[in-house]
Amino acid sequence: MPMNDNIIRISNRAEGWGIVSMMERIENIQQKFGANIFPKVDNSAFQKELENSAGTAPAKSIKERGGDELFAPGTFTRPVPGAATFDPLISQAADKYDLSQSLLKAVIKAESNFNPRAVSSKGAMGLMQLMPGTARDLNVSDPFDPAQNIDGGARYLKQMLDRFGGDTKKALSAYNAGPKAVETYGGTPPYKETQDYVGRILNMLSGG
């Protein structure tokens, strides 16, 4: 069938995921067959249009962000929705688990910078960076689904708060380093990563 007879309909969704997936698929096919079977597209113009449709800038590289987050594999950098996109889910989880919305937002900011596709070098996934084992324990079947991830992360954070008597600093330390480490050291363990993490979130909560 001639390529021109194929009509590709792309839904104009704010996230822009459909467009990105289509372009990734095109490049994968071209690489596999070693031929330019699709018309060449001005990628800079495409990326600009994608950013406009998504209403946000593309995700930054690891070096630019200064963190260890890695983005899901793909030829094109996936656009990251604006933080406000997740406000309804954050509000719902905060009410469900009796948590502060500000605390949840600060944890998400520190964990993934609101990138639902973020994957750390250790394998933590999604907005609240759930480890595979933790995700399974929380019955989170898709850690990259924002609703599931936020609900699971909020539930785990609530568990840590209950375990440490409502002490936010200890709960955050446990969220990052694990509850056993906090119990072993009687507070935030002497890990630079954990100390920086807790300090960053507490600073955000204090308006710093």
CA–CA separation, 30 vs 184, rounded Å?
54
Mutual orientation of helices 168-177 and 101-112 as an angle, nearest 10°?
Answer: 30
Dig out the tokens for 149 from the structure: 């991830």
pLDDT over 60 at 151, yes or no: yes
Name the residue with tokens 């009509």. 7
Give 32 or 130, the one with higher predicted confidence.
130
Whether residue 200 contacts residue 193, with contact meaning beta carbons closer than 8 Å, is answered with no
Q: What is the mean pLDDT of residues 110-125?
A: 94
8-state DSSP, 125 = B
Percent over 90 (pLDDT), the chain: 59
How far apart are the C-alpha atoms of 115 and 182, rounded to whole Å?
Answer: 27
Q: Is 0.75 topped by the overall pTM?
A: no
From 24, 51, 69, 111, active-site residue:
111
* Residue 193 known to be catalytic: no
83-114 residue pLDDT tens: 899 999 999 999 999 999 999 999 999 999 99
**CA–CA gap between residue 138 and residue 125 (Å, rounded):** 13
φ, ψ of residue 23 to 5 degrees: the values are -70, -35
The sign of the torsion formed by the CA atoms of 90, 142, 64, 23 equals negative
What span, in angstroms and rounded, lies between the C-alpha atoms of 198 and 190?
A: 12
For 145, the token pair is: 């689904």
Confidence grade of residue 24 (pLDDT, cut at 50, 70, 90): low
Tell me the pLDDT tens digit for each residue of 33-82. 544 444 444 444 444 444 444 444 443 333 333 333 333 333 234 567 88
CB 144 within 8 A of CB 129: no
Query: Letter for the amino acid at 78?
Result: R
Average pLDDT, the chain: 76
Q: Which residues pair with 118 in a beta bridge?
A: 71
CB 59 within 8 A of CB 79: yes
**Close Cβ partners of 163 (under 8 Å, ≥ 6 residues apart):** 171, 174, 179
Task: Kindly report the number of other CB atoms within 10 A of residue 186's CB atom.
Answer: 8
